[in-house]
Structure 1
Amino acid sequence: MADDVPFLPPGTRMGAEIRARDWSATSLGPPEHWPAALRNTLSLMLACPTAMFLAWGPDLLCFYNDAYRPILGYRLGTALGRPFREVWGSIWDEIGPLVDATLAGSSQTLTDVMLDLSREGVPERSWWSFTYSPVRDDAGAIAGLFCVTAETTDRVLGEARLRESEDHFRHTVELNPQVPWTCDPEGNVTSYSNRWLELTGQAPGEPDGDGWIKALHPDDVPWTMTVFSHCLAAGEPVDVDYRIRVARTGEYRWMRARAWPRRDEAGAILRWYGVVEDVHDRKLAEERLREINETLERRVAEALAQRKLWADVFETTDALVGALDLDFRVLAVNRAYADEFARLYGVRPAVGDDLLALLDAHPAQREVARAVWSRALAGEEFTLVEEFGDQDRRQACYELKFTALRDARGRRIGAFQYAQDVTPRLRSQEQLARAEEALRHAQKMEAVGQLTGGVAHDFNNMLTIIRSSVEFLRRPSLPEERRVRYLAAVSDTVDRAARLTSQLLSFARRQPLKPEILDLGERLRGVADMLNAVTGARIRIVTQVPAAPCHVRVDPSQLETALVNLAVNARDAMAGEGTLTLRLACGLPLPSIRGHAGAAGPFAAVSVADEGAGIAPENLARIFEPFFTTKEVGKGTGLGLSQVIGFAKQSGGDVDVASRIGEGATFVLYLPHADPAAPEDGTGADEPEPEAGERGLHVLVVEDNLDVGRFCTQILEDLGHATVWAHTAEAALAELEHEPARFDAVFSDVVMPGIGGVELARRLRVAHPDLPVILTTGYSDVLARDDAHGFELVRKPYAADQVARALRRVLARQRRHPSP
């Protein structure tokens, strides 16, 4: 049978599939009518082993060679002859612009482009390099595009792993207490960790080549270079000790440098890898031990004389000195060691005794001695601090040092133990710790005194106003105008006292909060309008808020109070004129602030920036203290920033501040993100208005304070309600158990002896779900820690209208959501 497509090379799978396909229904028509340009391009592409594809004609129908087939993945069965855009619709956003540019006549070359080909039907990350070239028809017009492509995923991922490995190695090197270094085969230093620069004080680059030698002690340079040069020439490992001058202290310390060569397959050295470690303390110990051994060796002629002379040497020191042989027998012991041992264990050691046998009556101490001496007799040199006596240091505490004992030929024959009395040092450390604790206590008491004095000052001022006003109000002849003025003064002063206690509780993170989910950006725009009235017309307020919602869970009233406090401080810092900038950023981590650890977040950050005089550096650490203020007397209480930081901390965030003298200050309030609130049920939660002829209620009042209880019941009775007063939560439960149906609501204090108000409310929620409960408090640690208790809250000091509104709210809520 005649071949309709003789231009296709034989033996390729794609050639066979092109021959087998019916092309008459496509825009190209039968292959025998295909233009020469298409035939030639297909012939060349199918014969090439590199992955290629061709998109031809107005529909850009797909052709490709055998090497391109694996790239198609699950698309392979349907890709041939389909429009290119349909085949690669999943990545068209990435490659569409390239196609357009190519069809416009511009070749495109890209390297290591990340594409999600989803070749197996699932998302995947892969990288590709390719060139797009325009293909022209027989008349020279652009009829399609031709692409040569190659997958570079393995190389890209390999390079990424290599970078990660190098970064890991670099961090490992920098954290190593030793000093890693490298040099070339000629001995020129090529790299080193920053630890060398910290130790020697050399500048970056200064140790390169042979510059490191400048840090050595001049006396050690000739020997060090002799050893170094010999090892480099012979290809043997480097191991040399020398002293370097430590920049921080100016002293010389002994260091040990070691290095090993890395060779190629032929054995030629490619590079030297080495480390430098601090061996100063070991050097001193070795020198001291060598001096002791030399002293002993000069005095030893035979074993018995050796032991006697050892004892003579030991008696010249205040330390407790003993020596054992490899079988735990006493080789030597001085009088101080023997006396202390006898005091502790009731037996006096002598030369030749088995130390472990001497401790048979003390099995626990015997096992400890066996373990410690076994390490020493095995050649380990170490130091321990072991206490003899009680915790109060009435008896000695010793530092035990163990070193190896060798004979004249260097063979290990036992171990020494040196015990130094370090009780004075430990007592000094304990005295220092006690002094530091006393200082912290004194600072705490100073802060408490400052707080108490500030509170007393402000409250005495307020009580003076109240007392004077009450005295005038008692006068029967007082004119009505002055009576109204004094009553207003009392009411205003009570409000000021309530705000003062609220600020103190907020600073102490004990303010009962009423948090809700809100869009911080939307709330910030509203607060900005309100701040215009606070700051005045000469201060321009600029608000920068992102368009996307930013939800937090906070008490809206406390949030607005915090922003007002910051705005007032900014106004005063700018002397009433300038620009105040409110800026919101979302999705940020919480940085480390004032020594506290940060958090990953996400957090919303509200910054309040002014153009004022700035904050002096010495005041930055104190600005959040209660009653600390740099304003003139009468210009501020010093509690505004205390409220801000207390609110932020209690809400799960923090406050940071940055300032420079003459350049203003920026306060940043961090609040944790929250999920958006669930949609409202649409029933309406507006507070009901009082109805004409509103019926009186029967209210159970629970209050342990007699004065407050009498006042509360009087308020409720004046509002037209009947009351029963229980002095404790237990009494209230008894009243409800006796006749629960007669009460319409419960009004309870939170802080009471025995069962508290929150626990009472929770019990009533279970036993009497239809009975509304209102809680009241001026301070409660329970509510400060648990703002999700779910009960209506009236804060003390309260007024009659606040109690009336609370009753209407809970009753309206009960009518809307009755219990099943």
Structure 2
Amino acid sequence: MEAMLIELSERLRTLDTPQAMALAAAETVGHALSLSRAAYGDVDEPGQHIVIARDWLASGQRSAAGSHSFADYGNFNEALRRGEDVAVADVTVDPRTVGQVDSFRALDIGSMANLPLMEDGHLKVVFCLHRDRAQYWSAEELAFARRVMDRTEVEIARRSVSKQLRESETRYRTLFESIDVGFCIVEMKFDDADRAVDYRIVEANPAFERQTGAKVAGLWVSEFAPDLERHWFDTYGRVALTGEPAHFENKADRFGRWFDVRALRVGDPADHRVAIFFSDINDRKGMEEALRRLNDTLEQKVQERTQERDRLWSNTQDIQVIIDGEGVFQAVNPAFTAILGWTSEDAVGKPLFEFLIPDDEGVTDRALQHARVQSLPVVENRYRHKDGGFRWISWVAAPDGDLIYASGRHITAEKEQAEALQNTEEALRQSQKMEAVGQLTGGLAHDFNNLLAGISGSLELMQKRIDQGRFTDVDRYMTVAQGAAKRAAALTHRLLAFSRRQTLDPKPTNVNRLISGMEELVRRTVGPAIHMEVVGAAGIWPALIDPGQLENALLNLCINARDAMPDGGRITIETANKWLDENGARQHDMAPGQYLSVCVTDTGTGMSPSLIAKVFEPFFTTKPLGQGTGLGLSMVYGFAKQSGGQVRIYSEVGEGSTICLYLPRHYGETDEEGLAQKLDEASRAEQGETVLIVDDEPSVRMLVTEVLEDLGYTAIEAGDSAAGLKVLQSDVRIDLLVTDVGLPGGMNGRQMADAARERRPDLRVLFITGYAENSVITNGHLDPSMQVLTKPFAMDTLASRIKDLITSR
């Protein structure tokens, strides 16, 4: 093997590149150790991959050239990175490689050895040795491979150093010959007192000769410049004796030029040699002189500009301030004092936050952070005035280095004007509200006075006829009074629907079936000149609504559609399932979710946008005086909103209109059956059944008591919640509580019922109310043992509800 090493050394001297040397080393080891493959691989900086440029291969072997991840061949990477040799006799059983057998088989590797080469503590090269069979690696084999590797690396390093020296010499000579800076090495001559008396130019580059105008290499200065100024000798002599470099600018009168000179001692100090760099700066000196004269002129102009800036700083009506990054005032102009009252002495050196209204500190801090890095858009805040008030300031600012320059405009007067305008607008809106209230109350007074005239007149005539013994006319007057009372009830229901405060009785409803049931009524109402079509979607979802109120709403919409088509036309009632996502719900001003839509479309005159904006207002109508109350669409809108839905109008003038109700979907089945009884058909009470009536209106208590006694119930009356609760907390038998919602006595009807249920958990409750807030009756969702009945109500309806609740126990 020694012979092979000698042969390798001879061969390496004939090769030019590190790659060729590495391949020669691989070939030597491959033959010596009977390998199937040998190669040098360069390791990347993270130490995770190896790149093989060329490999030596035994006959018939596949090349492994390319990039490989250490992780694909086992878990020995850390050992290599520590500089340890890795030798594996059998890759199929060694725990370091057994998990990656497929990778080795792809390259026909049975055993392998990796020898790392470290550089500055980092893994740089791996010498890879492969056999196509499992075989033990002896220490002698690894030592030989390491010797080959070391010898190769030494030769590569020697060649690299030699090459670097040649390249350095070439670069130096090229630089020496081509630079514009004059360079020479001089040898100093001293007298016995160590005083420099002459120096010889040992070597000089072309630039030096161009600057001096002569070929002076080998000559003493006394030979070509006998009158050279003394300071040149003294300076170079001091550098040669002390070794301290010198850098100076000086004019050589002998050559008529200025030079920038750098001098330093080189070589053996005993040789008294100094390397000198000359830069011809004659042009620069001329420019400096011209610049000096220009600066004198510019300084005067700058002074003039500074005076202008100072006048602007002092005379501007806007605040000018300079602050640091922490918001501390560095300077303020006179306008700061004029507007805020604080002098420069009051402000400079203090944080701006000391002068702010506390409520504006947040927005100002964010503006300060912004202004540290980029120009600040307009921001407004309030500064305290020294007199105790405050002033509004509008700021812009920009950073410059560590400082921020800000300009503030006094806008307190503008703010006060804006506030006055806002107050005026608010007063106008309030005036418009009061006008609407006046219109509402006027309409109510007109309609109710008409109804009350019918009721009171009928009652007076009934009294006269009874006194006269003429009973045949009583029924007619009674019918008139009852009709007026029912119209008054309908009007209050419309008002409550508009205000979204009517008491609803929501039920799971099949809307298609409801429309089918009222279709004939609608056809008769709109008349034969109107063609009506119902398009009910299949698989329609149930809706949780008050069926009676939906019937009223649809009838109102169809009547309005009819009135918009005086010459006849078409009405289409259409149902559909709608699933609104966030975008669609936002466009409809609704919550996202599933809804049932009921749309009424006509081919009438249509509406303009300005008209659409007003149609839901109370008492707004386009019909002639006396032909419409203006509450129809208001009631529809109130019903939809109170039911958790929405109303939307789609219309163009001359193109007809579509009004859609969006009603919330009910997740469940509908109750297809309903039952009503007449008062004289209601079942009689059982022995001892007792009902408590709580209402602050004596007439209501009297009427309910009359109905209960007719049905055989025992009736107990209470005029407020305190009296009612006292009865409920006693041992008296109570089968049903009938109570108003709005009660005196400290509790409303719902609170009283809930308190009673703590003692009587099975208590049945019937709420009777002219108007109840949804929060009191839980948005219409009551327990099965609770029901609500809206005043005014028919006596037979009251009797039916009472019996239903009592018999449902």
Per the normalisation by structure 2, the TM-score is 0.55
Worse-superposed segment, 603-612 or 326-335: 326-335
Deviation at 1:468, TM superposition (A): 1.0
State the number of aligned residues.
Answer: 504
Matched residue, 2:512:
521
Q: Does 1:400 pair with 2:389?
A: no
* Secondary structure at 2:447 match in 1: helix
User: Where do 1:717-728 residues align within 5 Å?
Assistant: 717-728=709-720
Contact 1:512 1:779 (8 Å CA) reproduced:
yes
Partner of 1:809: 804
Confirm whether residue 572 of structure 1 aligns to residue 577 of structure 2. no
Pick closer, same or farther for the CA change 1:506–1:312 going to 2, 3 Å: same
Which segments of 5 or more consecutive residues in structure 2 lack a partner in the other structure? 1-295
After TM superposition, give the deviation of residue 581 of structure 1 in Å. Answer: 1.4
> What corresponds to 1:729 in structure 2?
721
- For 2:545, the equivalent position in structure 1 comes to 554
Aligned mates of 1:464, 1:549 — CA distance in 2: 47
Whether 1:313 and 2:312 are equivalent positions in the alignment is yes
Rounded Cα–Cα distance in structure 2 between residues aligned with 1:348 and 1:655: 62
| Equivalent residue letter for 2:380 | V
Which residue identity does 2:714 align to in structure 1? Answer: A
Candidates 404, 424, 427, aligned match of 1:435 = 424
Answer whether contact 2:499 2:638 (CA < 8 A) is retained.
Answer: yes
1:296-695 alignment, distance < 5 Å:
310-323=309-322, 333-338=332-337, 343-344=341-342, 347-348=345-346, 355-356=349-350, 383-389=378-384, 395-403=390-398, 415-475=404-464, 476-477=467-468, 479-575=470-566, 577-589=568-580, 597-677=589-669, 689-691=681-683
Of 771, 786, 789, which residue of structure 1 is paired with 2:782? 789
Q: Equivalents in 1 of 2:723, 2:361: separation in Å?
A: 66
The CA deviation at 1:605 is 1.4
In the alignment, residue 788 of structure 1 is paired with which amino acid?
Answer: H
Residues 14-413 of structure 1: matches in 2 within 5 Å? 310-323=309-322, 333-338=332-337, 343-344=341-342, 347-348=345-346, 355-356=349-350, 383-389=378-384, 395-403=390-398
Q: What are the Cα deviations for residues 395-436 of structure 1, in whole angstroms up to 9, with x where unaligned?
A: 42222333456xxxxxx6955332321112222222232223
Q: Which residue of 2 aligns with 1:738?
A: 730
Assess if the C-alpha contact under 8 Å between 1:518 and 1:676 holds in 2.
Answer: no
**Separation in structure 1 between the aligned mates of residue 560 and residue 357 of structure 2, nearest angstrom:** 72
Amino acid at match of 1:443: Q
Question: Residues of 1 paired with 2:755 and 2:555: CA distance?
Answer: 39
TM-aligned CA distance change 1:335 to 1:702, over 3 Å:
same
Secondary structure at the aligned position of 2:525 is classed as helix
Distance in 2 between residues matched to 1:609 and 1:393, nearest whole Å: 65
Q: Deviations over 1:165-208 (max 9, x none)?
A: xxxxxxxxxxxxxxxxxxxxxxxxxxxxxxxxxxxxxxxxxxxx
Shift of 1:455: 1.2
Contact 1:516–1:553 (Cα < 8 Å) also in 2: yes
The 3-state SS of whatever aligns with 1:517 is: strand
How far apart are 1:527 and its partner, in Å?
Answer: 2.2
1:719 is displaced (CA, Å) by: 4.8
1:330–1:735 Cα change, 3 Å: closer
Per-residue deviation at 1:776? 0.3
Are the equivalent residues in 2 in contact too, given 1:703–1:728 (CA < 8 A)?
yes
* 1:630, distance to aligned residue in structure 2 (A): 1.7
Alpha-carbon distance change, 299 to 623 in structure 1, aligned in 2, over 3 angstroms: farther
State the alpha-carbon separation in 1 of the partners of residues 394 and 719 from structure 2: 65
In 1, Cα distance between equivalents of 2:357 and 2:706: 78
Measured against aligned partners, the alpha-carbon deviations of 1:257-304 in whole angstroms (never above 9, x if no partner) come to xxxxxxxxxxxxxxxxxxxxxxxxxxxxxxxxxxxxxxxx99975999
How far does residue 787 in structure 1 lie from its aligned partner after superposition?
A: 0.3
Partner SS for 2:660? strand
CA distance in 2, matches of 1:678, 1:654: 22
After superposition, give the CA deviation of every residue in 1:194-241 in whole Å (9 maximum; x if it has no partner): xxxxxxxxxxxxxxxxxxxxxxxxxxxxxxxxxxxxxxxxxxxxxxxx
- Give 1:713's match in structure 2, choosing from 705, 712, 719: 705
Aligned CA distance change for structure 1 residues 370 and 397 (closer, same or farther; 3 Å): closer
> In structure 1, which of residues 695, 698, 701 is the aligned counterpart of residue 693 of structure 2?
701
Q: Which whole-Å CA distance do the structure 1 matches of 2:303 and 2:490 have between them? A: 90
Residue 437 of structure 1 aligns with an amino acid whose one-letter code is E
Contact 1:783 1:789 in 2 (8 A): no
Give the whole-Å Cα distance in 1 for the aligned partners of 2:420 and 2:798: 58
Q: Is the 8 A contact 1:311 1:333 kept in 2?
A: no
For residues 645-668 of structure 1, give each alpha carbon's deviation from its aligned partner in whole angstroms, at most 9, with x where no partner exists. Answer: 111111111112223334432221
Q: 1:488 to 1:694 in 2, by over 3 A?
A: farther
Q: Given that residues 321 and 337 in structure 1 are in contact (C-alpha distance below 8 angstroms), is that contact kept between their aligned partners in structure 2?
A: yes
What corresponds to 1:116 in structure 2?
Answer: none
2:485 and 2:770 map into 1 onto residues whose CA distance is: 13
Partner of 1:800: 795
Residues 435 and 592 of structure 1, relative CA distance in 2, 3 Å threshold: farther
Contact 1:586 1:605 in 2 (8 A): yes
Offset of residue 344 of structure 1: 4.3
User: 1:592 Cα deviation (Å)?
Assistant: 6.6
Inter-CA distance 373–686: structure 2 relative to 1 (3 Å threshold): closer
Q: 1:369 Cα shift?
A: 10
1:335 and 1:574, CA in 2 relative to 1: closer, same or farther beyond 3 A? Answer: closer
SS for the counterpart of 1:474 is helix
Given that residues 338 and 348 in structure 1 are in contact (C-alpha distance below 8 angstroms), is that contact kept between their aligned partners in structure 2? no
CA contact (8 A) 1:389 1:397 kept: no
Asked whether the equivalents of residues 517 and 552 of structure 1 are also in contact (C-alpha less than 8 Å), the reply is yes
CA contact (8 A) 1:345 1:362 kept: no
What is the TM-score normalised by the length of structure 1? 0.54
Match of 1:762 among 754, 768, 780: 754
Q: Which residue of 2 aligns with 1:52?
A: none
What is the CA–CA distance in structure 2 between the aligned matches of 1:700 and 1:403, rounded to whole Å? Answer: 78
Change (3 A) 1:577 1:739: same
Q: Is the 8 A contact 1:726 1:732 kept in 2?
A: yes
- In structure 1, runs of 5+ residues without a counterpart are 1-296, 406-411, 815-820
Structure 2 letter corresponding to 1:396 = R
The 2-side partners of 1:358 and 1:473 are apart by 85
Q: Percent identity?
A: 32
CA distance in 2, matches of 1:323, 1:467: 83
| Residues 1:355 and 1:747: Cα distance change in structure 2 (over 3 Å) | same
Aligned letter for 1:610?
A: D
Q: Which protein is bigger by CA-based radius of gyration?
A: 2
Report the more deviating stretch, 357-366 or 602-611: 357-366
Deviation by residue 1:465-519 (Cα, 9 ceiling, x = unmatched): 1111111112112633321111111111111111111111111111111111122
- Secondary structure (helix, strand or coil) at the match of 1:457 reads helix
Paired residue type of 2:446 = H
